[in-house]
Amino acid sequence: MKRTREDKAMEIVWQSPAIRPQPQDYIFRDGRRHVRPYYFEFICHVKNRWAGKTIVDLFTHEFKGRPYDYYVSAVKSGRIQVDGEMVPVSHIVKTSQKISHFVHRHEPPVMTWDISILQEKPDVVVVCKPASVPVHPCGQYRKNTVVGILEAEHGLAPLFPIHRLDRLVSGLLILARSASKADYFRQQIEGGMVQKQYIARVAGEFPEQEQVVDANVNHDARECRSTTEISQSGDDTPIKGKTACTKFTRLSTNGIHSLVLCEPVTGRTHQIRVHLQHLGYPIANDVLYLSKHVNGRSSEGMGADRAAANSSPSPPSGFRENLSTEPVDSDEDFSIDPMCTNCPNLVPKGYDVYEEALWLHCVRYSAPGWTYECPYPDWASLT
């Protein structure tokens, strides 16, 4: 990259995914793990619908997280380049050109709960994932992930997660230490050989008898929300979404909340959450799926999914940009970048640092020849 005199004076080191997380990358404050902001190159290729626009108009219209004046300055300074070269602000982009955006990246914080290593073998690592931490790089997160933290603090790399848990879900997470071992696990999962168990704390007094929900799950990635749909008798209209089935068994109840064992037969996005909502017993602190029409639940002060959309992967053909807008207290533990739209704040703008961990926890995965389990969380006690 051709750097300006200002950049040279700042001694900028541009990072890439090949640069691995280090212990010194993290700042711990007020019960949260922050990532020291760093310089990073985002890359995408020009889509057909972008062709013919000026480079500044392209960014202004497609990536609205920063103002027009920022993009003008970024092009002029070389922080936005086309095919590895600086261009004028009037440059017209063409299909398939490579566009690089060099940014001062601020990652959202996660809670400082430890990632407990339950088992460590030559070919497998099993951990208890805390809520708030994504499993692998996605959206605004790269270093503040289970994979990143395990590499930085335990030297565990490479790691291949063989299943995923939503960022706000806690519990058992199995990571293979080789691609061949990951393929072994995935073949078992795809072959229907793996049994999965979760526990959830739901609103209301769940029925004593086992409940089975067989309802399609239709996930809207833009809204970060799923819905269920069941075919009606005599209705030939095709139903949307993917087939999904979950079995539920009540473990205990105090009349206000119930602890429920959840056994998903399939693995759709938000499947357990939306199937519990479908039954009328949503997870008791799950704002995204709580319904006002079901008695005996309270959503006051709950916020499990306030930042869910920001943690979802961006469209694969575009940049992964920070689109948040609310600042927090400034920080003195990192260098201030004069062009950064987040500095001097440590947390990305608009991120809700007071979100709540979801009351959904993975407790057990098993298949012929192996079983892995994770302890119950504190909220699983209804006494």
Q: What letter would DSSP give residue 178?
A: S
CA distance 146 to 34: 14
Counting other chains too, the contacts that 324-330 makes at CB distance below 8 Å and 24 or more residues apart are: 324/65, 324/108, 324/140, 324/348, 324/349, 324/350, 324/351, 325/349, 325/350, 326/350, 326/351, 326/352, 328/353
286 assigned to active site: no
Check residue 309 and give left, alpha or beta (phi > 0: left; psi -120 to 50: alpha): alpha
CA distance 61 to 302: 34
Spot the catalytic one: 7, 25, 166, 305: 166
According to DSSP H, which parts of the chain are helical?
5-10, 55-62, 68-77, 146-154, 179-190, 271-279, 308-311
Question: Which amino acid is it at 109?
Answer: P
* CA angle, residues 304, 197, 110, in degrees to nearest 5: 30
CB count within 10 Å of CB 29 equals 13
CA distance 256 to 218: 29
* CA angle, residues 49, 74, 70, in degrees to nearest 5: 85
CA distance 280 to 298: 14
Q: What letter would DSSP give residue 312?
A: S
- Of residues 125, 169, 104, the one with CA closest to residue 344: 104
Residue 180: what are its φ and ψ, rounded to 5°?
Answer: -65, -40
According to DSSP H, which parts of 121-195 are helical?
146-154, 179-190
Instruction: Write out the catalytic residue numbers.
Output: 166
